[in-house]
């Protein structure tokens, strides 16, 4: 009887110890809106923070910087510059605050995050603005895709960093080469909150599931079940007064003030496979 009681107490102690370990582990999960001390640097888009008494690797969301070390791969152009830029800003900040998208961990168990510095700036965005990173979107983390593509586009136009030679290719350009439907033309009346999409081809286009995106405003309209006949127009209205055109299909975007009148706000049209098929450049 005494032996059975001792065994029971031993098992209970082990269970309690296990629960305690689980509790400690849970408390060390990375949280948003919390400042964490930076404790190591890997490369331009990866670094380490202290969480409790452990080190956690952070991989910045939506961007990819040139490699400085990856197996036998040689150092890539602007890799050292991106790494030095990230290390400098992280050292100056000392601590960072993290924001997440849908998927928090990648297959390497790194935490995927938007990184805010002590001065309020976003490190991910700064790397794009300096031409030291390209946009990298991995589903399901797509929340800030449009904003980051616009930052990349601005760096390209200014020929900064990676884009200084004019020979680099962005993900957006790669998507264009996969386009299934050419001959679609977009025009945006920003003040009137009206988008006109013209099908200049001789074929009817099924647009169900397509997406119209305000890049600057980071807003997306998903098309319902609709077909755009050959040589016809489709209107997407987000204004207070909806235009009536007997010769065009009219769709209502139930959002106010989609298009920015104070800043360039390109429009992008994606098909059901998330391939860019038309672009309106607000220059």
CATH number at residue 119: 2.40.50.90
Q: Which residues of the chain have pLDDT under 70?
A: 1-28, 70-73, 166-182, 240-243, 283
pTM (global) more than 0.75: no
Q: Is position 147 within any domain?
A: yes
224 in the same domain as 127: no
Q: Which residues are catalytic?
A: 59, 67, 110
* Gap between the Cα atoms of 125 and 61, Å rounded: 10
* Gap between the Cα atoms of 112 and 114, Å rounded: 7
pLDDT of residue 274: 77
Closest CA to 45 of 77, 73, 87: 87
pLDDT of residue 182: 66
120 in the same domain as 76: yes
pLDDT of residue 114: 97
* Gap between the Cα atoms of 21 and 26, Å rounded: 9
pLDDT of residue 146: 87
95 in the same domain as 54: yes
Q: Tell me which residue range forms the domain holding 42.
A: 34-163
252 in the same domain as 201: yes
* Gap between the Cα atoms of 90 and 50, Å rounded: 13
* Alpha-helical segments (H) within 28-136: 79-93, 123-129
pLDDT of residue 21: 34
Q: Is position 170 within any domain?
A: no
What domain count does the chain have? Answer: 2
pLDDT of residue 204: 94
Strand pairing class (111-116; 54-60) = parallel
């Amino acid at each position: 009887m005494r032996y059975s009681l001792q065994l029971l107490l031993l098992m209970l102690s082990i269970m309690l110890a296990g629960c305690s370990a689980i509790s400690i582990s849970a408390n060390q999960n990375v949280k948003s809106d919390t400042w964490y001390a930076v404790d190591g640097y890997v490369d331009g888009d990866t670094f380490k923070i202290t969480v409790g008494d452990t080190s956690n690797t952070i991989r910045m969301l939506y961007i990819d910087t040139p490699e400085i070390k990856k197996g036998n791969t040689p150092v890539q152009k602007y890799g050292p510059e991106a790494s030095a830029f990230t290390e400098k800003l992280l050292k100056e900040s000392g601590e960072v605050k993290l924001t997440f998208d849908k998927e928090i961990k990648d297959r390497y168990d790194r935490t995927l995050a938007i990184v805010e510095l002590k001065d309020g700036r976003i490190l991910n965005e700064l790397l794009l603005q300096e031409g030291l990173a390209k946009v990298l979107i991995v589903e399901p983390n797509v929340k800030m895709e449009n904003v980051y593509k616009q930052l990349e586009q601005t760096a390209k136009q200014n020929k900064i960093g990676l884009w200084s030679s004019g020979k680099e290719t962005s993900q957006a350009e790669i998507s264009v080469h996969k386009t299934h439907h050419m001959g679609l033309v977009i025009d945006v009346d920003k003040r009137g909150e009206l988008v006109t999409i013209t099908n200049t081809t001789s074929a009817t286009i099924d647009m169900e599931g397509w997406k119209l995106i305000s890049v600057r405003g980071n807003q997306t309209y998903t098309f319902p079940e609709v077909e755009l006949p050959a040589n016809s127009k489709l209107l997407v209205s987000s204004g207070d007064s909806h235009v009536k055109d007997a010769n065009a299909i009219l769709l209502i975007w139930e959002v106010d003030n989609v298009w920015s009148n104070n800043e360039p706000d390109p429009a992008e049209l994606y098909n059901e496979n998330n391939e860019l098929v038309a672009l309106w450049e607000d220059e």
